[in-house]
Amino acid sequence: MTDEATAFAPGHVTAFFAPYPDDDPAVAGSRGAGVTLSDGVEVTVRPAAGADDPTVLLDGEAVEVAAVEGVLDALAPHVGGTGTGADGDADARVAAVEIRTDLPVGAGFGVSGGAALGTALAANDAFDLARSENELVRVAHAAEVAAGTGLGDVVAQFRGGLPIRLEPGAPGHGAFDGLPARPRVEYVTFGELSTAEVLGGDLDPVRAAGEAALTRLRRTPSLPELLAAAREFADDAGLLVPEVAEAIEAAEAEGSPASMAMLGRTAFALGTGLSDAGYDATACAVHPTGASLRPVETE
Amino acid sequence: MTDEATAFAPGHVTAFFAPYPDDDPAVAGSRGAGVTLSDGVEVTVRPAAGADDPTVLLDGEAVEVAAVEGVLDALAPHVGGTGTGADGDADARVAAVEIRTDLPVGAGFGVSGGAALGTALAANDAFDLARSENELVRVAHAAEVAAGTGLGDVVAQFRGGLPIRLEPGAPGHGAFDGLPARPRVEYVTFGELSTAEVLGGDLDPVRAAGEAALTRLRRTPSLPELLAAAREFADDAGLLVPEVAEAIEAAEAEGSPASMAMLGRTAFALGTGLSDAGYDATACAVHPTGASLRPVETE
């Protein structure tokens, strides 16, 4: 029995959303829909013997990820703190967190949400915390909301597939449906877009456009309708940026429904439209499941 | 674009349950907990050109699976019926259903529930029905309940992992939590047990034992507690059969928590206890996800 654990969370591209902030971060969230990706975030947590404070590495570099720190704080004194463990060993309960991802960071793929969720799942296992999945998702969602880096990624990343967020918030508040489809997805990224900046601005037009898109998708829950609703949302919410708009038009000209990742300078498309149009696009699949622990090798 | 589609549903072993029948089959269900398995049920649906009635094959043999027929009826006239399709072709909408599984049938693995759920997911895709995942799960759950072959398998098989059913019923009624663990699972089967017979008997002692087990697990949501609660349930509900009790004791003597699959003459255990005790046990993993369409090969 090792006390190290690894969890995987799929990436999540939001197609459209209607934000609902709240003072309670478990109640805050967004309604909307998106695509979870086979490309994602892997997180390993182990006790950091001898360390005074938790360490967080992203692809080998020391980083500060507010949502991950929030998760460790919420699980303290069992994980993040320097309390005395059951065995009387003062530093056996400090976590060393290693995050690995091939996804672009800050470009609308839910890397911070996936890192928070993976940390919660892995820490629970590594430190034998006996929390349920709903409790761990709640901790990660609340940490991500408090950090201002996302409103709906964590719960979508836990669910997997093509999640439709019917009601905002953590388990116990939120509610889901999903589209039963498993298309090939391509994406191309032109750089970062600050989620915190958009979420700090006027949310009324975004919310109105997001609700209109959700109503449309619930009337016809199909893949073409998801992309059409997403495209309309991007225009109506005023969030489309020029280089992404250009890539979307190019993919559509090749017959691929496409839209913008909310929030990132990223275009995503179904099928092969982006690469057919000459973009250096990355291809992946819809992730069939949500985030989970990596099984321990048994044989 | 092919009009054939394949879906996979994991097997599901119920550890304990509290049944809640209802006249509305979407409201009926059970609370409880269990284990979804990497061994499962694969279902392919395609239009049966020229056929008057749907055909259902299980591992190549023509069978009648009431829950599958219920799903086809519920999706009629689009799938099960002989109505005229949009293209005016009268028999293009009749479904041919092929079910394949390595799981024992009638032994507590949720094969009928998995077949119903797989049929719903695959038929939706093959016949372009544009139903959402919640709608398809609801159709499969209601068909399984109406057939009397299960109360909680379908919703658990859609969720995956180690599902805790907090509230009974189809999406919109039911609610879930889960255990964040991915252990190795072994099982050994001694034959069939009629779910319909047990569900048709006095449910009060079963419900009382199931609620006690659920309260216990929610207090400490861990893997050892799941098996301990399951073991207590099997005794208290009066459902344990002698050959299964013997296998459970043998696995426990080898250090593996074990219990009985509800409802089947099946023992399941974590780790290697059944094979260590000399049983010809089958090993598998917890299925990390729920049922989903097989992705179409794209390259």
Q: Answer yes or no: do A288 and B285 touch at CB < 8 A.
A: no
- Residue B22 buriedness (CB in 10 A; 0-12 / 13-18 / 19+): middle
- Rounded average pLDDT over A270-291: 95
Q: Answer yes or no: do A292 and B290 touch at CB < 8 A.
A: no
Q: Answer yes or no: do B181 and A125 touch at CB < 8 A.
A: yes
Q: Is residue B150 part of a domain?
A: yes
Q: Is residue A39 part of a domain?
A: yes
Q: Answer yes or no: do B289 and A286 touch at CB < 8 A.
A: no
Q: Give the mutation candidate from A289, A294, A296 for the B interface (greatest B CB count, under 10 A).
A: A289
Residue A281 predicted with pLDDT over 90: yes
- Collapsed DSSP state (helix, strand, coil) of residue B292: strand
- Rounded average pLDDT over A136-145: 97
Minimum-distance CB partner of B160 among A134, A286, A289: A289
**pLDDT for res B296:** 64
* Residue B66 C-alpha, separation from nearest chain A C-alpha, in angstroms: 23
Q: Answer yes or no: do B294 and A121 touch at CB < 8 A.
A: no
Q: Answer yes or no: do B132 and A221 touch at CB < 8 A.
A: yes
b/e map of A112-125 (b: 16 or more CB within 10 Å)? bbbbbbbbbbbbbb
Q: Is residue B19 part of a domain?
A: yes
Q: Answer yes or no: do A178 and B294 touch at CB < 8 A.
A: no
Residue A299 binned pLDDT confidence (cut-offs 50, 70, 90):
very low
Is the CA virtual torsion A138, A141, A143, A148 positive or negative? negative
C-alpha distance from residue A118 to each of A45, B155, B280 (Å): 9, 25, 36
Q: What percent of chain B has pLDDT over 70?
A: 93
- Collapsed DSSP state (helix, strand, coil) of residue A143: helix
**pLDDT for res B80:** 60
- Collapsed DSSP state (helix, strand, coil) of residue B212: helix
**pLDDT for res A2:** 60
Q: Give the mutation candidate from A138, A164, A292, A299 for the B interface (greatest B CB count, under 10 A).
A: A292
Q: Answer yes or no: do A134 and B220 touch at CB < 8 A.
A: no
- Rounded average pLDDT over A134-147: 97
Most confident of A160-164, B91-95, B295-299: A160-164
B125 touches A: beta carbon within 8 Å: yes
**pLDDT for res B149:** 87
**A70 is written with which tokens?**
């929030």
DSSP A149: S
Q: What percent of chain A has pLDDT over 90?
A: 79
Minimum-distance CB partner of B177 among A132, A160, A288: A132
Q: How much is the mean pLDDT over chain B?
A: 91
Which range among A199-203, A294-298, B8-12, B22-26 shows the weakest confidence by mean pLDDT?
A: A294-298
Q: Which domain holds residue B214?
A: 1-291
User: What residue type is B51 in one-letter code?
Assistant: A
Q: What percent of chain B has pLDDT over 90?
A: 79
Residues 235-264 of B with CB under 8 A from A: none
Q: Answer yes or no: do B295 and A289 touch at CB < 8 A.
A: no
A292 touches B: beta carbon within 8 Å: yes
**pLDDT for res A91:** 45
Q: Is residue B299 part of a domain?
A: no
Q: Answer yes or no: do B289 and A288 touch at CB < 8 A.
A: yes
B10 touches A: beta carbon within 8 Å: no
Residue B86 predicted with pLDDT over 80: no
Q: What is the pLDDT of residues A56-97, one digit of tens each?
A: 999 999 999 999 999 999 997 667 654 444 454 544 578 999
A157 touches B: beta carbon within 8 Å: no
B121 touches A: beta carbon within 8 Å: yes
DSSP β-ladder status, A292-293 and A5-20: antiparallel
ipTM: 0.90
Task: Give chain A positions within 8 Å (CB) of B295.
Answer: 182-184, 285-286, 288
Residue A140 predicted with pLDDT over 90: yes
Which range among A268-282, B86-100, B195-209 shows the weakest confidence by mean pLDDT?
A: B86-100
Angle at B38 between CA B34 and CA B44, to 5 degrees: 110
Residues 207-226 of B with CB under 8 A from A: 218, 220-222, 225
**pLDDT for res A80:** 60
A186 touches B: beta carbon within 8 Å: no
**pLDDT for res A295:** 75
- Rounded average pLDDT over B200-210: 90
Q: How much is the mean pLDDT over chain A?
A: 91
Q: Is residue A298 part of a domain?
A: no
- Collapsed DSSP state (helix, strand, coil) of residue B175: strand
- Collapsed DSSP state (helix, strand, coil) of residue B282: strand
**pLDDT for res A1:** 44
Task: Give chain B positions within 8 Å (CB) of A134.
Answer: 176-178
Residues B174 and B134: beta-carbon distance below 8 Å: no
Q: Give the mutation candidate from B133, B216, B225 for the A interface (greatest A CB count, under 10 A).
A: B133
A286 touches B: beta carbon within 8 Å: yes
CATH of the domain at B3: 3.30.230.10
Establish, for the pair of chains A and B, how many residue pairs have beta carbons separated by less than 8 Å: 104
Q: Is residue A299 part of a domain?
A: no
- Collapsed DSSP state (helix, strand, coil) of residue B185: strand
Task: Give chain B positions within 8 Å (CB) of A222.
Answer: 130
Residue A185 binned pLDDT confidence (cut-offs 50, 70, 90):
very high
Q: Give the mutation candidate from B119, B166, B225, B289 for the A interface (greatest A CB count, under 10 A).
A: B289
B148 touches A: beta carbon within 8 Å: no
Q: How far apart are CA B160 and CA B287, in angstroms?
A: 6
CA A211 to chain centre: 21
Q: Answer yes or no: do B178 and A218 touch at CB < 8 A.
A: no
Q: Answer yes or no: do A136 and B222 touch at CB < 8 A.
A: no
How many independent structural domains does chain A possess? 1
- Rounded average pLDDT over A194-216: 88
**pLDDT for res A238:** 86
Task: Give chain A positions within 8 Å (CB) of B125.
Answer: 180-181
- Collapsed DSSP state (helix, strand, coil) of residue A97: strand
Q: Give the mutation candidate from B127, B284, B292, B297 for the A interface (greatest A CB count, under 10 A).
A: B292
Task: Give chain A positions within 8 Å (CB) of B171.
Answer: 177
Residues A187 and A169: beta-carbon distance below 8 Å: no
- Rounded average pLDDT over A168-194: 93
**A196 is written with which tokens?**
């915190």
Minimum-distance CB partner of A177 among B124, B132, B288: B132
Q: How far apart are CA A247 and CA A267, in angstroms?
A: 6
Task: Give chain A positions within 8 Å (CB) of B182.
Answer: 292-296
* Residue A299 C-alpha, separation from nearest chain B C-alpha, in angstroms: 10
Q: Which residue of B has its CA nearest to A175?
A: B172
Residue B29 predicted with pLDDT over 80: yes
Which range among A201-210, B6-15, B23-32, B79-88 shows the weakest confidence by mean pLDDT?
A: B79-88
